Structure 1
């Protein structure tokens, strides 16, 4: 599948999910505000959501997709790949049940470990424990979803896996609609919605795999050579991604020790930061891993490096304007989307400032998603572990250094700085091994993209100043101002980018001609 087409498919459906996610967050901010119940739910939701990022977007796919692709394109074909999937499932499922049971029983201890700041408030602590017990089964469900997603992505069938997260957002949105009173009742409803969303996602992926001709049978658990090979690859990848996720828990630990509402501020700013990361970074990482794995298996490293270079170019083309725009209009954007009901103007101000800091690391977040497949496709999952361990140490040190004087803003600075540290280390290692380097043409393209971004920033600042009254007005006026910002940013950035050669014009024109030809052929 063409890289741009694959990214468009995954990114477009991810956007659908994010639209539902923003509807959920907008309703949640107004119903829950930056309250203690909201903080408790967000801690409870962070646990399964962290494992979603670990398994669904990280370690499992990194280990499973290359090995599945090897068998799929080898002499055994689809039957060998299907047998491999069943052998992995036979071991994976009992482990997940045992893991879930242990955590359910030990939940008070675990919540204390990541949110000990709530221990001085027994009611808030007990609520967090209860909510986490409700949300935790989502881990089991989303891990099975990741297996079926790996199968479908290896077959270049990206639609179901890209759309599945929308079902979680729909389930949580439904929970808020059914229980709009706020406080503890809405927190319980949201927690139930998380687990219901997991069941819906699993049902969709299971059905899609059957339609693709992959119906997995339950086998007796056995440590076969294929399973051993899988764990040799996936355990280091899990440790590497796990170190990063431990960093997320460390952020939670520090946030729970900050004033009430800090978890909410961090959540809403991260929600906006995650939009381009999920649409661009995750889409590219998902699309290029099977392609790089295929070229490596064929002994064509130059083609693998070419795919990675194209992915870096496309990621920066789309990510740079998103990061710059979010930094410039963070405050008005947060106010337009989340302010209202129990979410006060002061809450919006703090969230906007936090967002403006966090998005400075957004390009690095996206580049890491593009760079790491270069390691995983070569079955090297140890290097990302080592770099992640260094990043973890740096994150802890920066949190201790920056949070006392700057509060939640210090936490945001540490998050952004560590993302750049991780990106730089991974890129340098890959370049030193000769697997990938930024060619002169790519440097030139990125510099031109930065120039287009500068023009966009000037235009956005003008629109923000001109529409200041709209951003302070009614909900309809604020949404109109957001629309004006988005339209202006897109027109100026991509217009200037096209004019100065910051995009591959020939590739886009070729793609356009192909689509026109396909349309004409279909009409005939």
Structure 2
């Protein structure tokens, strides 16, 4: 189906076997046609790559103008609070609960039923988040103290962060409605628009940093305005695409609607189950605020680099697989369901293992190339590299969580992941207390990675135990092929890369040229090895 064309009504006398949801008339609805998961994943990956590259450019601008000082620390906390809640609610629990229910309505229900669900969910979501936003703006100083207690030692820093939070918190309402629109588009296999939308956040922050900074006594306040502007821009961008499909809701709160009640029931336990990694990152921020000045920023810059492959590969695969799994569950196609999960795990390992290794080997050169300008010092680079390597250890686990959790949520099972999430979160707290003393901020990052492995391991084990995840033949050979490719790539990068101290004296163009050459060489060596030992692109084709 052309992604820009509205869904076509089905023939009432004969329904195609592969039909999926789309709105046809008041009495019937046709489900969106199944597409190739690899193709859909590639679309999301390309758009996500654009967004992440723009995000790195945004961080280069912020690092250059603000470094790792008090203003930057204040903004990162003021942005992290609504951003954390966005990932927890909008892209976490809400998305995982809403998509399976919407897919079921679209597959089995009528156009009228789908529209009533969208109207009720949009209205209820707006009402709840508007109330939360108003209360949070009133309680801003207390929220800052709760999320970054170390700021309480500096009243001016605490007050600045609270002022920023009053501007950034409405972003939660706007971006949650954006996530609602994006989830609807994803269910109808329109993946490109939601995947492109985050680019607008990065453009807004870059514009605010460059254009609005001179207007404020505290320059970093411009970034808070940039967040607020971005929230409105992202929501406005998706509205025409919903309208084109005939799916633009008329928001009206209706908490008694059966679909809304089901979504709420699924959301409650999903808050921990799908977003435990975000809770772990939040705990890092709380503890980092008690460490040396700059610790929050060091963790932020290193986390940003890990987010690039996580978003381009892990989140992209998780995004396309959830609607596909939800559809297969509604159709009671257990064999295809299991094959999809196996495909997702293989794909994550194919891309995640070399990405984690490259981040570790090239930690300092990457940070220097992107952030060593203006106020960013050599010490900041060395400190951020420590936490980057610690986060890189858990990159594959972060990715696996993104593709394993949908195996539960597509079946509307939110109780099991919440139990796993609680175990992983408690383990993260224990790891934090053990590792923070010898390793400081890097210990917090390593604790997050270790708890992510525990989380992913338990999810995979339970899916296997339930008979939902069935590994397909050939895993032994596949593991050897990946291990060999990573070994050759890692040795090649270590041999080719100059000492990181040399990078400090290079111009931006010399750094960019060297980094491009190293990344290209590493990718070429890795995929050439895999091709030589029998891995082909056709092995990763999977029907949605």
Partner of residue 36, structure 1? 70
* Pairing partner for 1:68 from 72, 88, 102: 102
Cα shift at 1:182? 11
RMSD: 1.9
* Pairing partner for 2:286 from 253, 260, 264: 253
Contact 1:57 1:282 in 2 (8 A): no
**Structure 1 residues 228, 120: CA separation in 2 closer, same or farther (over 3 Å shift)?**
same
Name which of structure 1's ranges 211-220 and 361-370 shifts more when overlaid on structure 2.
211-220
* Superposed CA offset, 1:137-195 (max 9, x none): 00001111111111101001011100111100000000111145699633110011011
CA distance in 1, matches of 2:95, 2:169: 21
Contact 1:467 1:481 in 2 (8 A): no
CA distance in 1, matches of 2:502, 2:215: 30
CA distance in 2, matches of 1:302, 1:343: 52
**Structure 1 residues 75, 218: CA separation in 2 closer, same or farther (over 3 Å shift)?**
closer
CA distance in 2, matches of 1:141, 1:443: 47
CA distance in 2, matches of 1:167, 1:276: 20
Contact 1:29 1:338 in 2 (8 A): yes
Contact 1:48 1:135 in 2 (8 A): yes
CA distance in 2, matches of 1:308, 1:464: 37
Per the alignment, in what secondary structure is the counterpart of residue 119 of structure 1? helix
Cα shift at 1:377? 0.7
Per the alignment, in what secondary structure is the counterpart of residue 34 of structure 1? coil
Contact 1:37 1:183 in 2 (8 A): no
Per the alignment, in what secondary structure is the counterpart of residue 223 of structure 1? coil
Cα shift at 1:57? 2.7
**Structure 1 residues 323, 239: CA separation in 2 closer, same or farther (over 3 Å shift)?**
closer
* Superposed CA offset, 1:312-336 (max 9, x none): 1111111111111011010111111
Contact 1:20 1:166 in 2 (8 A): yes
Q: TM-score, normalised by structure 2?
A: 0.90
Partner of residue 451, structure 2? 418
Is it true that 1:453 corresponds to 2:486 in the alignment? yes
Is it true that 1:148 corresponds to 2:181 in the alignment? yes
List runs of 5+ in structure 1 lacking aligned partners: 512-524
Per the alignment, in what secondary structure is the counterpart of residue 48 of structure 2? helix
**Structure 1 residues 404, 469: CA separation in 2 closer, same or farther (over 3 Å shift)?**
closer
**Structure 1 residues 267, 181: CA separation in 2 closer, same or farther (over 3 Å shift)?**
farther
Contact 1:471 1:477 in 2 (8 A): no
Partner of residue 515, structure 1? none
Cα shift at 1:42? 0.5
Contact 1:498 1:505 in 2 (8 A): no
Name which of structure 1's ranges 221-230 and 452-461 shifts more when overlaid on structure 2.
221-230
Contact 1:471 1:481 in 2 (8 A): no
* Pairing partner for 1:369 from 402, 409, 423: 402
Q: TM-score, normalised by structure 1?
A: 0.93
CA distance in 2, matches of 1:341, 1:471: 12
Is it true that 1:303 corresponds to 2:327 in the alignment? no
Contact 1:296 1:304 in 2 (8 A): yes
Contact 2:74 2:157 in 1 (8 A): yes
Partner of residue 165, structure 1? 198
CA distance in 1, matches of 2:67, 2:384: 12
Cα shift at 1:425? 0.7
Cα shift at 1:242? 5.5
Contact 2:216 2:222 in 1 (8 A): no
Partner of residue 271, structure 1? 304
* Superposed CA offset, 1:85-136 (max 9, x none): 1111222211111111111111111111111101111111111111111100
Cα shift at 1:470? 5.0
Is it true that 1:390 corresponds to 2:429 in the alignment? no
Partner of residue 85, structure 1? 118
List runs of 5+ in structure 2 lacking aligned partners: 1-34
**Structure 1 residues 267, 404: CA separation in 2 closer, same or farther (over 3 Å shift)?**
same
Structure (1/2) with the larger helix percentage: 1
**Structure 1 residues 55, 298: CA separation in 2 closer, same or farther (over 3 Å shift)?**
same
CA distance in 2, matches of 1:221, 1:505: 47
Contact 1:59 1:238 in 2 (8 A): yes
CA distance in 2, matches of 1:478, 1:244: 32
Partner of residue 435, structure 1? 468
* Superposed CA offset, 1:364-393 (max 9, x none): 000110101100011001111111111111
* Superposed CA offset, 1:400-456 (max 9, x none): 111122211111111111111111011111111110033441343233112101110
**Structure 1 residues 75, 24: CA separation in 2 closer, same or farther (over 3 Å shift)?**
closer
**Structure 1 residues 212, 471: CA separation in 2 closer, same or farther (over 3 Å shift)?**
farther
